[in-house]
Amino acid sequence: MLSGKTVLIGITGGIAAYKICELIRMFKRQNANVRVICTPNALNFVTKLTLQNLSQNEVGVEEFEIPDFKPEHISYADEADIMLIAPATANTIGKIANGICDNLLTSIVCAFKKPIILAPAMNCNMWENPIVQENIKKLQNNGFEIVEPETGFLACGYNGTGRLAALEKIFDKTVEVLQSKKKLTGKKIIITAGGTIEDIDPVRYISNYSSGKMGLALADEAFQQGAETILITTKDVTRPYKTVKVKSAADMQKAVEADFEKADCVIMAAAVADYRVKNRAEHKMKKTDADTLTLELVKNPDILKELCAKKTTQKVVGFCAESENLIENAKEKIIKKGCDYLIANDISRKDIGFSSDYNEVVIFDKTGRQKRIERAAKAQIARRILEEIYG
């Protein structure tokens, strides 16, 4: 299965390090070339000789063991097809997330341009630490694959989440990433995200609760699959692909239309305000003695409908956020708008949707077919949506 592939395994100083011996054997059974890098502390849990015998390769530990003219961390990075760090301790995760290169393993990660998978393992309190979770999200946002730890009895005596994921799960994820192709190479995809802002005066505005996380997840996934990705968002984000910061519905429409003609697909995940204030005040409106204030609103352009009306070869995908009658409203909307796909999600639930890292959606296509994707992380939902669009 893995003939001709080189898997670089990084082992850090956690008790689960001993389990990686069997993982190495799993890769060797599939004819992979396995190289192993250990942090010095990892050798407190598993011996260098054992790892060398199992991998049939020299094991790297010290950063300046240079057998030839090539810097060792660059050499390892160039030779491998994928890097897997298991177990990944909180310490090493923190270093990687912040660009610290103080040992051979972290130096290789910094120079590695191919897929990297992390399989964390640690005490449950450490895993739940907000700083550790922030580092995990930071790495995910930068394209790292995370095989999350499992819940169960831990070596420290606690019972909670932190145990290294099953070796089969780690192996399968590595094979999946190795065998996946850049399916969207050559495609140009525009994705919108966030809630638009419609000014009332210089200090007040009309908007909504959209966090932009779903659109961002879609853009990240499209980019990882090789697409030329353009994210048009109302949020401040830094990404390796093109991002355009906008504010109002009019701004968003202008940004989308600028690249629409040459796009293969537009995914309108943004929550675009239906109305804007007719006459925006130039100066801050002062409070008066009146108990009420009337604002005259006018309709914003229906960006989705207008794109659908003028599309030629483009695929246009809309989103539908509903608090009731999800299926009925979605069926009506896809017909009314004329889009190729419509993604419907229930915003009345507290465990998904706005501001959550999770979602659950129903995907409709223009033939009337519908497919439900059960609750999952938005990154996984994004992957499933793109699978539906591009098969």
Residues assigned a catalytic role: 156
* The amino acid at 268: M
Do residues 110 and 97 make contact, with C-beta atoms less than 8 angstroms apart?
Answer: no
Q: Read off the DSSP letter of residue 284.
A: P
Do residues 32 and 6 make contact, with C-beta atoms less than 8 angstroms apart?
Answer: yes
* The amino acid at 69: F
DSSP assignment of 321-349: EESS-HHHHHHHHHHHH--SEEEEEETT-
Do residues 233 and 269 make contact, with C-beta atoms less than 8 angstroms apart?
Answer: no
Q: How far is CA 176 from the centre of its chain?
A: 16
DSSP assignment of 33-47: EEEEEE-GGGGGTS-
Specify the DSSP element, H or E, that contains 77.
Answer: helix 72-79
Closest CA to 314 of 364, 260, 272: 260
Give dist(CA 227, CA 181) in Å, integer: 12
Q: CA torsion, points 234, 236, 240, 242, in degrees to nearest 10?
A: 30
Q: Read off the DSSP letter of residue 165.
A: P
Give dist(CA 41, CA 33) in Å, integer: 24
Give dist(CA 111, CA 12) in Å, integer: 18
Beta strands per DSSP E along 197-251? 198-199, 205-206, 228-233, 242-245
Give dist(CA 214, CA 84) in Å, integer: 27
* The pair of three-digit structure tokens given for residue 332, joined into one six-digit string: 């009506």
Specify the DSSP element, H or E, that contains 29.
Answer: helix 20-29
